[in-house]
């Protein structure tokens, strides 16, 4: 509005001027007005650029807000997935532990309790080929060991572990053999020249129902070779034992 009034005033002044020289003072006014017009044009252009810049900045801010919102949603979705994964993992773990317990229970229930241990040798000077009979039964789960014959009769197909413990007099020896159905499975020699010694040997066998296992003297080269004694100061036990380890 001010610019329009100034322009009108200058136009009237120029029209009233009769000679160019007398109007020279308005020349500078005209130049000033041209400069003001150029500045106004530049100002309008700058305002448009600022407006465009503000618009772009606003668009960028809006886009950043949308991305931030989307990022928050993605984080929430990830947390939900992780919780779901943890729940499923815990469920699988519980199921596996339960199955493992069931398998152990089934295995325990499916494996019969077959085990025995007997002591006290009936004949301490056994002859070659003689079966050693252990008279005193300490336990006999499955009732498979016969203390009158010294023979163990297999009640269940499976893998068995048999152990003997024999004490030998000084200067004597004992050739032992653990046999099944008259077949020698394990043999060896227990001997010491100066002291009473007790020795242990074992045998692992895969056996079927009805097969028989016992301990024999493989070769008797002297008399009084086995020692069995229970006193207040020393105990020398001879034992024969066996257990079903797997079916």
**pLDDT range class, residue 107, cuts 50, 70, 90:** low
The residue written with tokens 């003072």 in the block is 25
Residue 231: partners with Cβ closer than 8 Å, 6 or more residues away? none
Task: Give the single-character DSSP code of 132.
Answer: P
Per-domain residue ranges for the chain?
A: 2-107, 115-246
Residue 171 has pLDDT above 70, yes or no: yes
Mean pLDDT of 237-246: 96
- The pLDDT, as a whole number, for residue 239 is 97
| Percent of the chain clearing pLDDT 70 (strictly above) | 86
Higher pLDDT, 240 or 58: 240
- The pLDDT, as a whole number, for residue 2 is 44
Mean pLDDT of 165-191: 94
Check: CB of residue 126 under 8 Å from CB of residue 132: yes
Q: Which of 7-21, 37-51, 65-79, 140-154 has the lowest mean pLDDT?
A: 7-21
Residue 44 has pLDDT above 80, yes or no: no
Sign of CA dihedral 222, 118, 159, 183: positive
The residue written with tokens 């990830």 in the block is 78
Residue 86 has pLDDT above 90, yes or no: no
Mean pLDDT of 51-75: 85
Residue 141 has pLDDT above 80, yes or no: yes
Write phi, then psi, for 22 (nearest 5 degrees): -65, -20
- For the chain, what is the mean pLDDT? 85
Check: CB of residue 204 under 8 Å from CB of residue 159: yes
Residue 203 has pLDDT above 90, yes or no: yes
Residue 5 has pLDDT above 50, yes or no: no
What pTM value is reported for the model? 0.57
**pLDDT range class, residue 220, cuts 50, 70, 90:** confident
Q: Which two three-digit tokens encode residue 27?
A: 């020349």
Mean pLDDT of 203-225: 92
- The pLDDT, as a whole number, for residue 193 is 86
Pick 115-246's CATH classification: 2.60.120.40, 3.30.70.600, 3.10.20.30, 3.30.70.890. 2.60.120.40
């Amino acid at each position: 509005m001010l610019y329009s009034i100034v322009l009108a005033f200058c136009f009237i002044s120029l029209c009233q001027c009769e000679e160019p020289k007398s109007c020279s003072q308005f020349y500078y006014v005209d130049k000033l007005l041209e400069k003001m017009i150029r500045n106004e044009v530049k100002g309008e252009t700058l305002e448009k650029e600022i407006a465009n810049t503000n618009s772009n900045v606003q668009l960028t801010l809006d886009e950043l807000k949308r991305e931030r919102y989307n990022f928050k949603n993605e984080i929430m979705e990830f947390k939900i997935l992780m919780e779901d994964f943890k729940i499923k993992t815990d469920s699988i773990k519980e199921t596996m532990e339960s199955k493992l317990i069931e398998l152990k229970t089934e295995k325990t229930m499916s494996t019969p309790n077959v085990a025995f241990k007997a002591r006290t040798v009936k004949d301490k000077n056994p002859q070659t080929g003689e079966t050693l009979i252990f008279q005193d039964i300490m336990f006999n789960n499955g009732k498979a060991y016969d203390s009158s014959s010294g023979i163990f009769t297999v009640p269940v197909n499976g893998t068995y572990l048999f152990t003997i413990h024999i004490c030998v007099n000084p200067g004597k020896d004992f050739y032992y053999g653990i046999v099944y159905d008259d077949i020698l499975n394990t043999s060896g020699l227990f001997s010491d020249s100066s002291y009473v010694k007790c020795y242990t040997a074992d045998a692992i066998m895969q056996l079927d129902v009805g097969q028989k296992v016992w301990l024999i003297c493989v070769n008797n080269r002297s008399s009084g070779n086995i020692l069995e004694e229970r006193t207040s100061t020393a105990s020398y036990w001879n034992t024969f034992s066996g257990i079903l380890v797997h079916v």
